[in-house]
Structure 1
Amino acid sequence: MKKYFMYLMISFLPILAFSQVEKQTNEGVFVFPDSLKSLIPVNKQSLLRDVDVIFNSRMAYNSNFIDGNHTFSDFNINQLRFEMKGKIHDKVYFRFRNRYTREPVPGDLDNISRSVDLAFIRIDLSPKTKFSFGKLCADWGGYEFDFNPIDILTYNDVIEYADNFLVGAGISHDIGDGKHSLSFQVLNSRTKTYETQYGASAPPNINPSEYPLAFVSNWRGSFFDGKFETTYSYSFFNEAKGAHMNYFALGNKFKTKNFVLYYDFQYSDEGLDRLGIVSSIISNNYPYAAQDALYIENWVRAEYLASPKINLLLTVMNSNHSWKDNPDPNGSSKLSTSYGLIPTVQYMPFKDMNIKFYVAYTARKYDYTGYAETAFGAKDYTTGLLGFGFIAPLLVL
């Protein structure tokens, strides 16, 4: 109903163009002339019925802590992403999303601003097969990345430091009765060139690839009448000559009437440290990006709808960081582990509008091995973030 109201407003109010001056009647009121025309052609106005305009937003008052000590508090627009999506033809769909909380710097590899998450068209080759081209969301498995970003208060390390939106092409196909689907993408392996990405930290024995591409495959499944769902993926990144990345993500979802449980396992074996976490740990003694870095993660999120207006959430996560190519014969490959705990309470006052007010505390701990502390001077520390705010995908059209 709201869409049709907006459609009428657009058609008949401020953007009207008049071919002659308004006429005043004897009753002292104005009437519109018969020659009134809309600036939007009538044959184009029907497109608005199939287009959504959304402001994905999360805003909060945040208080920050380091090692248990308060550092500062402020109001913050954590997320604001403008999105347009919809059909422009029976078989052609478009989607565009821009992030206003990231600096709009164009990638020198893909020539598009990093603030643009999505900019692609999708062509439905058949009811079950779809082809997409443009700046895409890498179809990685795992539910942490599947969520709308406004719903994730803090990401685990792999998603936080990865290039998640890349230019390329993809195809997906529903299998059987639609309970399963397969997808395959060919993407740029990053948004920047090798020289920009690594700069002076590029190892002298590694050369950039002429084909910096990523190959992403994904399987989504649904079982037991939708009570158990999966999204599993394998990705191969050609980061440089002789330096590749193999990435596995296994997402699992179990749901009942009022309870949902998610579990993700992620494994990223990087011939050249793409995330940069290991490289940052060893940077005091080793000037180059680490080779053969390994990241293994677990992520769990539980949601319980205590009442129609109260939703309780708990997120638990950890990430392990290792340097398999450590040249120290007496050294350890394991360097650190990070932990996260995010208890959250959401209040949803409106039945017909998806606005959630929340209070949450994000506790993070960064625990370095004894070897990392001795060899590289790393020190354990904790962070905390207390937030009061709201989450809303505001559908304005």
Structure 2
Amino acid sequence: MKTISNIKRGLLCFIVLLIPISILAQEQSENLELYQSIIPTSKQSLLKDIDVIFNTRFGFNSEFKNGDYSKSVFSVSQFRLEIKGKIHEKVGFRFRDRYTRTPKIGSQDNINRTTDIAALFIDFAPRTKFSMGKLLADLGGYEFDMNAIYILEYNDILDNSDHNLTGVGISHKLKDGKNTLKFQILDSRTNILKEQYDNNIPDGTVESKTALAFVSNWQGSFFGGKFETSYSYGFFNEAKNTSMNYIALGNKFKSNKLLLYYDFKYSAEDLDRRGIVQKLVKGEDASKDVVYVENWLRAEYRVKPKVNIVLTLMTHNSYWNGNPDVNACNKLFTSYGLIPTVEYYPFKDLNLKFYLGYIARRYDYSSYAEKTYGLKDANTGRLSFGIIAPILVL
């Protein structure tokens, strides 16, 4: 009897304790309903298909000009916020914005020039994809295809290019799985003609009603992936009876420890779209019929799992075929680039590296350019130390 009495007493205590606990649980449940998550529960599963990336390069730079030391500063050379993912089984998106560029709304494409990509991608078939929005023009070459945070300095063509353009594109991977063909129709520029060329265009130039660019690209893979290509041709309609033709031939070779890239680029411009020649011939009429020819070579060798050595070599040649001076030399200058770099990866499971590199450039002007425009040969240097990382935060 004493045991039964103890059991009854224990049950009574348990019930008394359970009542306030149940009331508290009910209050907490009501509070949870009142303070719901900003992201609805039904949408939280979408986050598994979303990537948020901080494409970052930060460093300490010491600059030199013609052998003389100029200055040393800390600088955020690259910071591009990228968000990409899927919103449907066959629909994806990609957005990337650059925080190291002066913002300006394009008068033609009506989007900020800091926005690299703002596009939707639709899978029409397993091997065919359609894209629309502000896109990266498929201009070919590995200097262009590589993530910008890895390029300590671009060669002259890409350094003076506007290759984030609005339009549509389609890509198709062939059945062999080794070749991909791409085609895009884009706005040929981001601004109306006069703004694009800073109101410096030849008299009589008429703005085109269809200022479009047509870009084709072939990406191939051979010998078990040891040799790859990224070749492209682009036709840009700039104004009435005025255009630009651009060719890029990118080649990539890889072995166990070696990565080797070589790009050849050729740009023939009825109007000086890059503005390189125009900057040299100040005070002259807008430069017409210019040609730019470039070579770009990059070698990477992994000495140890955590140590990578990189060497970049590049040349650029500028020609002004439309110079009204009949005695002119068409070739104005040649520039050279040399960028030796050492990279150190401290973490096995994180794509973050410290780098130390020296960016050396030399500009050799023709005797005609020196005599006519007062140009002098020059060289620049920049010693840079810092970190490079595409930081995946989500």
Q: Could you tell me the TM-score, scaled by structure 1's length?
A: 0.91
Between the aligned partners of 1:270 and 1:30, the Cα distance in structure 2 is 73
SS in 2 for 1:132: strand
CA contact (8 A) 2:216 2:234 kept: yes
Q: Which letter does structure 2 place at the counterpart of 1:337?
A: T
Q: Which letter does structure 2 place at the counterpart of 1:135?
A: K
Between the aligned partners of 1:171 and 1:128, the Cα distance in structure 2 is 11
Q: In the alignment, what sits opposite 2:62?
A: 63
Larger Rg: 2
Q: In the alignment, what sits opposite 1:8?
A: none
The answer to whether structure 1 residue 34 and structure 2 residue 33 are counterparts is: no
Q: In the alignment, what sits opposite 1:393?
A: 390
Alignment of 1:301-320 (within 5 A): 301-320=298-317
The unaligned stretches of length 5 or more in structure 2 are 1-19
Cα deviation code 1:191-246 (max 9, x no counterpart): 11101112431100322111111000000000000000000000000011121100
After TM superposition, give the deviation of residue 38 of structure 1 in Å: 3.0
Alignment of 1:144-159 (within 5 A): 144-159=143-158
After TM superposition, give the deviation of residue 33 of structure 1 in Å: 2.4
Q: In the alignment, what sits opposite 1:88?
A: 87
Q: In the alignment, what sits opposite 2:353?
A: 356
Structure 1 stretch displaced more, 190-199 or 148-157: 190-199
The unaligned stretches of length 5 or more in structure 1 are 1-24
Between the aligned partners of 1:39 and 1:378, the Cα distance in structure 2 is 60
SS in 1 for 2:210: coil
Q: In the alignment, what sits opposite 2:112?
A: 113
Cα deviation code 1:18-75 (max 9, x no counterpart): xxxxxxx88xx99982342433222211110000000000000000110011111000
CA contact (8 A) 2:314 2:336 kept: yes
The answer to whether structure 1 residue 365 and structure 2 residue 370 are counterparts is: no
Alignment of 1:322-361 (within 5 A): 322-361=319-358
Q: In the alignment, what sits opposite 2:10?
A: none
Q: Which letter does structure 1 place at the counterpart of 2:341?
A: T
Q: In the alignment, what sits opposite 1:228?
A: 227
CA contact (8 A) 2:194 2:200 kept: no
The alignment yields a C-alpha RMSD, in angstroms, of: 1.6
Q: In the alignment, what sits opposite 2:217?
A: 218
CA contact (8 A) 1:182 1:219 kept: yes
SS in 2 for 1:278: helix
Q: Which letter does structure 1 place at the counterpart of 2:29?
A: D
Percent of residue pairs bearing the same amino acid type: 56
Between the aligned partners of 1:70 and 1:241, the Cα distance in structure 2 is 47
SS in 2 for 1:173: strand
The answer to whether structure 1 residue 103 and structure 2 residue 102 are counterparts is: yes
Cα deviation code 1:148-183 (max 9, x no counterpart): 000000000111101010000000000112210000
Q: Could you tell me the TM-score, scaled by structure 2's length?
A: 0.92
Alignment of 1:225-264 (within 5 A): 225-264=224-263
CA contact (8 A) 1:276 1:289 kept: no
Between the aligned partners of 1:351 and 1:237, the Cα distance in structure 2 is 44
Q: Which letter does structure 2 place at the counterpart of 1:301?
A: R
CA contact (8 A) 1:129 1:173 kept: yes
Q: Which letter does structure 2 place at the counterpart of 1:80?
A: F
SS in 2 for 1:200: coil
CA contact (8 A) 1:186 1:213 kept: yes
Between the aligned partners of 1:304 and 1:329, the Cα distance in structure 2 is 49
CA contact (8 A) 2:142 2:261 kept: yes
SS in 1 for 2:28: coil
Q: Which letter does structure 2 place at the counterpart of 1:297?
A: E
CA contact (8 A) 1:259 1:304 kept: yes
Instruction: Choose between structure 1 and 2: higher helix proportion.
Output: 2
The answer to whether structure 1 residue 294 and structure 2 residue 295 are counterparts is: no
The 3 A distance-change label for structure 1 pair 71 and 48 is same
CA contact (8 A) 1:263 1:301 kept: yes
The answer to whether structure 1 residue 382 and structure 2 residue 379 are counterparts is: yes
Q: In the alignment, what sits opposite 1:5?
A: none
The answer to whether structure 1 residue 202 and structure 2 residue 201 are counterparts is: yes
Between the aligned partners of 2:53 and 2:294, the Cα distance in structure 1 is 32
After TM superposition, give the deviation of residue 129 of structure 1 in Å: 0.5
The 3 A distance-change label for structure 1 pair 332 and 31 is farther
Q: Which runs of 4+ in 1 moved over 3 A?
A: 29-32
Between the aligned partners of 1:39 and 1:386, the Cα distance in structure 2 is 46
The 3 A distance-change label for structure 1 pair 321 and 31 is farther
Aligned length: 370
CA contact (8 A) 2:182 2:218 kept: yes
Between the aligned partners of 1:39 and 1:213, the Cα distance in structure 2 is 42
Between the aligned partners of 1:71 and 1:146, the Cα distance in structure 2 is 32
CA contact (8 A) 1:262 1:300 kept: yes
Between the aligned partners of 2:350 and 2:377, the Cα distance in structure 1 is 43
